[in-house]
Amino acid sequence: MDKEKITILLVDDHTIFRSGLKLLLSSQPNMKIVGEAGDGEEALGLIEKLKPKVVLMDISMPNMNGIEATKYIKRKWPEVNVLILTMHDDEIFLFNIVNAGGSGYLLKQVADTNLIYAIEEVSKGEIFIMPNITKILVKDYLERIKNKDELKNLASLTKREEEILAMIAHGHTNQSIADKFFISIRTVETHRAHIMEKLRIKTRVELVNYARRKHLIN
């Protein structure tokens, strides 16, 4: 039934790109495209009417960019989850997005392999973190292990999770980890999610605190 599906609003100023996304996501049995917008301002009007579960949005758009639109959306409709889909490959964009209240970002060039999983995650209120950002956070976490609570979190990992954590810290991709252990990429993504949850670093607060420690945001 539709009410059980993840309702999605597409926000991007490139009509052809939106059409491709619509074709891909509409084929998913648990997802439904409820509307499309070409910029942030148009998106706000549609959210008021459609109340989507997830807003899939670009950053660079006319009238109102994705980050400003995200701030407005989270102030007025905190239950709406925003996932940014962009060409910008820079960790500072993630931290600015999360600081604005968004649920993470995904690069357009790798969206075909991560998009469905990312939408499912943010629809549940989770933060979606690209593998390159996960590596940065994990390395920072390992450098900061000084108290018993953090050591306890680390000790809660299974042997396989410890092995995957080490590979993440060394910058291995999901594909290389999957090849190493003869498992699927989806299984690797699940392991990553469990690791981040156990280490308590897959949260909006931790991401923002990290960015502030590194002076990436104010």
Q: Give the chain's mean pLDDT.
A: 86
Q: Which residue has the higher pLDDT, 112 or 52?
A: 52
Residue 44's pLDDT band, with cuts at 50, 70 and 90, is very high
- Is 36's pLDDT higher than 90? yes
Q: Please check whether the domain covering 132-201 is classified as CATH 3.20.10.10.
A: no
Q: 2-128: CATH homologous superfamily? A: Response regulator (3.40.50.2300)
Cα separations (Å) of 168 from 101, 134, 172, 193, 212?
Answer: 26, 7, 5, 12, 22
Q: Six-digit token pair at 114?
A: 């991560």
Q: How confident is the model at residue 2 (pLDDT cuts 50, 70, 90)?
A: very low
Which of 69 and 175 is assigned the larger pLDDT?
69
Read off the pLDDT of residues 156-170 as tens digits, 9 standing for 90 and up: 889 999 898 888 888
CB 50 within 8 A of CB 2: no
Which pLDDT belongs to residue 136? 76
The model's pTM is 0.75
Query: Is a pLDDT exceeding 70 seen at residue 188?
Result: yes
Q: Residue ranges per domain, the chain?
A: 2-128, 132-201
